[in-house]
Amino acid sequence: MDMSFGSESGLERARKRRRSNGNENIARNGEKEINIQVVVRCRGRIDREIAANSPVIIKTTPREIYVKQSPADKTYTFDKVYGPEADQAKIFDHIVVPILHEVKAGYNCTLFAYGQTSTGKTYTMEGDLNTTDGSINKDAGIIPRTLFSLFRDLEAETQDFSVKVSYIELYNEDLKDLLSSTDDPRKLKIQDEGTKKGILTGHEEVLVKNAADGIRALKQGSIKRHASQTNYNKNSSRSHSVFSITVHIKETMPDGEDLLKVGKLNLVDLAGSECIGRTGAENNRAKEAGNINKSLLTLGRCINALNERCLHIPFRESKLTRLLQDSLGGKTKTCIIATISPAKLSYEETISTLDYAHRAKNIRNKPVANQRVTKKALIKEYISEIERLKMDLQAAREKNGFYMTHESYQSLIEENRSRKDENEDLRRVNESLMVKVQELCKENTMLESSRNELENKCTKMQIYQTKIDEQISSVVTETQGHVDSQNQAISACQNIVKEVTDTEIRRLKEHNALLTKIIEEANSRMVLMREELLTNISTYISTNLNNFTNVQAESLKSSFGKVHDSIKENVDYILFFLLEQICRFSTNVLLCLTLKIPIGLCREANITALEGMMTSNTKYFNNLKVKLDKKKF
Ligand SMILES: Nc1ncnc2c1ncn2[C@@H]1O[C@H](COP(=O)(O)OP(=O)(O)OP(=O)(O)O)[C@@H](O)[C@H]1O
């Protein structure tokens, strides 16, 4: 029985051994890491969401998904994104058809649907399983479409092939020791004898001749699929289901030898990831939800560990992750379809699904095509497998101990050895981690002491800084006082200077007026003198004309001229002197105005200088008066 695609049958173990006998390197050389493909499917609102008036908060583009939230939308990028308009045919053509090519080329591929309850996982994987006139209906999901497409293509491409399917269901993670009862060879019932807690159902691999056979096998296997009604979904799957399709294709080599190419497709419909409170889970169903969440949680931890390239991936912590082990970080080509609801009602679960799926994007697998085996070798393996199973059955029926073939025993020994190796690896990892922890502890202690030192330094610096601050502020206050008193002194000085200057200007103006008056007086007096002189001369000449000789007349003219020149000279001198005084006066006034502010700073000296200037001006005026008086004719 090949119960799962993660656990190995004797046949697979034998194949593996053969691979390691020389062919493994060749296979390894061809290994190429590829990321897991992650796509998102968002369905339209369903009746329950419409009735609750829950608005649509999801917008999609071919690669991006926007979740409305304030203040800004949250955006996620995936390999592909499908909105409500994408029907079942589109999903199949875009996602599954390329995967089927890989299966036919001899690869193991896994496609699993993950998402909150009622978001459409079962609709996507199974959908409508009924057929009309031998054809699928439009709501048929990935499994029926795969079976129909596979048989159609294989029949068209080759005559020699076989298809086998198996179905298993897993819904309780409390199972510890799985015991098998084989009364019905087509149906497997494994029960935890100790606790009677859980059942893992399914059937062995069965050969199917056409697509309808395959669908029948799926229906048979899932007939008892554990489903219950939740607040969210009337027909909610409470278990994880795995439907596997194995394809054997015969190829005849040029030397005439027949080789078998084997490819496998695992279609996984996970149970809903759900929040217990919101889905209305009570009592047993709450426990059930807890178990479902527990296995999904382990799946999440494995995804995180793979994402972070951890040395240890906790695959063994749940049956589900043991089943999916080769599909996550192994040699399988894997695609995850994350299903979400568009309604605001499911906001939290949608974000959680998208975060989960987004992390899975970074997981890298190294797909390797299965080794082709000769028909003869395969038949031999099947015969020995049947022999082993027969003997196991016999021993079980006779309740006569447990029979095991030499090969099975060797396999178990090998498995045991590999577990021991694994344990040893873990012990070494643990040891190296302990060393690291100790190193970190030491580092931490050192860091702690340097932190204390730094804190002490900091405290000292703070005290020092406080002192400096105090000093600076006292200097600033003192300087400010000085500046204020200087400013007061300056403004007082400026007032005094202004007063002094105004007084001096007024005095200068008075002097100027006096000077102008003197000039005017001198002018008019000189005009009078000149006129008087001329009158006297003409009277004298007219009286004594006849007595004058020519010589006398000439001498008179010349003395008249001299007198005239002397008067002119005196007048010119006086005018020049007065002009000089006016210039000096103006310069003084300008000087006073220009020096107003500097005077304010050293006023005493300037006031003395101004007073000196005024005294010298007064002196000039007095001298001038004396001179003018002397020049009187
Ligand atoms: N893309 C879709 N288009 C139309 N109807 C859909 C779509 N996806 C889901 N539905 C409908 O939504 C309901 C819930 O879907 P389904 O049972 O597949 O959800 P689920 O995720 O498998 O839930 P659970 O985890 O509880 O089993 C069903 O009535 C289904 O027909």
pLDDT digits (tens, 9 = 90+) for 163-197: 999 988 876 443 333 333 333 332 333 333 333 33
* Cβ(116) – ligand 1 distance below 6 Å: no
Q: How far is the CA of 41 from the centre of ligand 1 (A)?
A: 11
Distance 458 CA to ligand 1 centre (A): 63
| CA of 123, closest atom in ligand 1 | 18
* 87 and 225 belong to one structural domain: yes
Give the chain's mean pLDDT.
Answer: 75
What is the average per-residue pLDDT within 481-487? 76
Tell whether ligand 1 has an atom less than 6 A from the beta carbon of residue 237: yes
Q: Is 618 annotated as a binding residue?
A: no
* 586: number of Cβ within 10 Å: 12
3-class SS of residue 388:
helix
What's the pLDDT score for residue 403?
60
Query: Cβ distance 140 to 92 under 8 Å?
Result: no
Distance CA(436)–CA(440), nearest Å, equals 6
Of 465, 491, 517, the position where a domain reaches its end is 491
The whole-angstrom separation of Cα 403 and Cα 140 is: 45
Report residue 506's pLDDT band, with 50, 70 and 90 as the boundaries.
confident
- What pLDDT score does 149 carry? 96
**Do residues 509 and 421 share a domain?**
no
Of 371, 394, 429, which closes a domain?
371
Say which residue the tokens 């199974």 belong to. 126
In our burial notation (b when 16+ CB lie closer than 10 A, e otherwise), range 173-211 reads bebeeeeeebeeeebbebbbeeeeebbbbbbbbbebeeb
Q: Of 55-59, 115-119, 284-288, 359-363, which one has max mean pLDDT?
A: 55-59
Q: Are both 317 and 425 inside the same structural domain?
A: no
> How does pLDDT run across 195-212, given as a tens digit for each residue?
333 344 555 888 999 999
- Tell me, yes or no, whether 394 lies in a domain: no
Let me know if residue 582 belongs to a domain. yes
Residue 119 Cβ inside 6 Å of ligand 1? The answer reads yes
Cβ-count burial of 448 within 10 angstroms (0-12 exposed, 13-18 middle, 19+ buried)? exposed
Q: Which domain holds residue 29?
A: 2-371
Atom 1 (ligand 1) nearest CA = 43
What is the predicted pLDDT for the residue at 220?
A: 82
State the average pLDDT over residues 563-580.
Answer: 66
Quote the percentage of the chain above a pLDDT of 90.
Answer: 25
Could you tell me the pTM of the whole model?
0.57
pLDDT at 444 over 50: yes
Per-residue pLDDT, averaged over 47-69, amounts to: 94
Task: Provide the pLDDT confidence category of residue 115 given band limits of 50, 70 and 90.
Answer: very high
Same domain for 427 and 468: yes
pLDDT at residue number 37 = 94
Supply the pLDDT for residue 176: 34
User: Residues 107, 370: contact at Cβ < 8 Å?
Assistant: yes
Is 99 in the same domain as 156?
yes
The verdict on 482 and 509 lying in the same domain is no
Last residue of a domain, one of 371, 386, 415: 371
pLDDT at 245: 95
Instruction: Tell me the CA–centroid distance for residue 124 and ligand 1, in Å.
Output: 8
- Weakest-pLDDT range from 48-62, 95-109, 431-445, 487-501: 487-501
Is 390 among the domain residues? no
* Comparison of pLDDT for 291 and 15, the residue scoring more: 291
Two tokens, residue 453: 């030192």
pLDDT greater at residue 545 or residue 355: 355
Query: Are 433 and 481 part of one and the same domain?
Result: yes
Q: Please give the pLDDT value at position 376.
A: 80
Q: Does 600 belong to an annotated binding site?
A: no
Q: Is the pLDDT of residue 39 over 90?
A: yes
Look at 143-147, 177-181, 360-364 and tell me which has the smallest mean pLDDT: 177-181
CATH number at residue 266: 3.40.850.10
Domain annotation covers residue 109: yes
Q: How confident is the model at residue 290 (pLDDT cuts 50, 70, 90)?
A: low
- The residue count of the chain comes to 633
Q: Tokens for 604, please give them.
A: 């005493």
| DSSP run (H or E) holding 362 | none
For ligand 1, is residue 82 a contact (CB within 6 Å)? Answer: no
**What is the reported pLDDT for 432?**
83
Which has more confidence, 248 or 473?
Answer: 248
pLDDT digits (tens, 9 = 90+) for 595-627: 444 444 444 555 566 566 666 666 766 676 666
Give the pLDDT score at 198. Answer: 35
> How many domains is the chain partitioned into structurally?
3
Rounded to whole angstroms, how far apart are CA atoms 184 and 188? 7
**411 touches ligand 1 (CB under 6 Å):** no
| Residue among 86, 82, 119 at smallest CA distance from 350 | 119
Task: Write the Ramachandran bin of 160: left for phi over 0, alpha for psi from -120 to 50, otherwise beta.
Answer: beta
Determine, yes or no, domain membership for 97.
yes
| Nearest ligand 1 atom to alpha carbon 125 | 18
Contact 96, 142 (CB under 8 A): yes
CB atoms within 10 A of CB 474: 10
Regarding whether 351 and 317 lie in a shared domain, the answer is yes
Residue 15, pLDDT > 60, answer: no
Range among 92-96, 295-299, 495-499, 578-582 rated most confident: 92-96
Give 312-321 contacts, CB < 8 A, sequence gap 24+: 312/426, 312/429, 318/173, 318/294, 319/170, 319/173, 319/175, 319/200, 319/295, 320/170, 320/173, 320/240, 320/270, 320/295, 320/296, 321/295
Q: Please give the distance, rounded to the nearest whole angstrom, from the Cα atom of residue 83 to the centre of ligand 1.
A: 14
Shared-domain flag, residues 525 and 440: no
Instruction: Note whether residue 382 is domain-resident.
Output: no
Report the Cα 214 to chain-centroid distance in Å: 48
Tell me if 396 is assigned to some domain: no
Helix (H) or strand (E) holding 285: helix 283-307
Residue 8, pLDDT > 80, answer: no
Nearest-angstrom CA–CA distance, 450 and 459? 14
Task: Supply the pLDDT for residue 163.
Answer: 94
SS3 per-residue string spanning 465-533: HHHHHHHHHHHHHHHHHHHHHHHHHHHHHHHHHHHHHHHHHHHHHHHHHHHHHHHHHHHHHHHHHHHHH
Q: Residue 240 contacts by C-beta under 8 Å, 6 or more apart in sequence?
A: 169, 170, 171, 268, 269, 270, 271, 292, 295, 320, 323
Quote the tokens at residue 208.
Answer: 């199917």
Does 308 lie in the same domain as 178? yes
Q: How far is CA 422 from CA 309, 330, 428, 611, in A?
A: 17, 17, 10, 113
Same-domain pairing of 153 and 66: yes
Residue 370: the pLDDT is 83
Mean pLDDT for the stretch of residues 214-222: 85
Listed ranges 82-86, 240-244, 276-280, 505-509; the one with the highest mean pLDDT: 82-86
Are 479 and 520 found together in one domain?
Answer: no
pLDDT at position 278 = 47
Distance from C-alpha of 380 to C-alpha of 407, rounded to nearest angstrom:
13
Asked, for residue 246, whether it belongs to a domain, the answer is: yes
